[in-house]
Chain A
């Protein structure tokens, strides 16, 4: 099956710094990628939908200026958490549909564990 990778898998940063997380579709093209956040013992919460070559669509309550999303190519989307604070500590997961595959499975990355000190 199609593979989605994320980098880094784990990051620890100081409060106030910015952190960039990369999401790559390794063997397929993805016109649409999604970014989720998951707090401990909770379900995944969709943050935004990232479309290649256009602006991301953010879910209600997600600050677009804090969570910058760039989808510059059909295989790469990045999420930058700007001026991170301890409350941003979470498990960030990206996913993608294979281009042209129709209704089917969404492929998820392994997640990035962000800890803000």
Chain B
């Protein structure tokens, strides 16, 4: 599986935008980029996914570099409830692909 690298942690202020980076220099042309997050003592929650183009949904935006070797998850206005571990994961093409979780990035949000 292609690997991703993320910083261990990041801090942000409430109501400010947050940019969470992810490097995936060995990504293949058919790998999808997924982001999940996990709040303490809960199962992970889907955030967003994309292939080549930038993506927006109600939770976040995903900005994908032109060479696809990196991507950035953007939370437009961080809230205290966004404090979680965020995982950037690559999946092989096709539906029902398994997810391989790395260490993720721990986001702290200051009030």
- A residues with a Cβ closer than 8 A to B are 4, 6, 31-32, 34, 36, 43-46, 49, 91, 93, 95, 97, 101-111, 113
Q: Which of A32, A102, A104, A106 has the most chain B CB atoms closer than 10 A to its own CB? A: A106
Do B43 and A46 have beta carbons less than 8 Å apart?
no
Measured between alpha carbons, how far is A103 from B98 in the docked complex, in Å?
A: 11
Q: How far is the CB of B4 from chain A (nearest CB, A)?
A: 12
Do B43 and A43 have beta carbons less than 8 Å apart?
no
Measured between alpha carbons, how far is A34 from B95 in the docked complex, in Å?
A: 14
Size class of the contact patch on chain B: 20 to 34
Which 9 pairs across A and B sit closest by C-beta, in order of nearness?
Answer: A108-B43, A105-B46, A44-B101, A32-B96, A43-B101, A93-B43, A108-B44, A97-B96, A111-B43
The dominant DSSP class at the A interface is strand
Do A46 and B95 have beta carbons less than 8 Å apart?
no
A103-B32, A106-B46 in contact; A45/B95 too (CB < 8 A)?
no
**Chain B residue with Cβ nearest A113:** B41
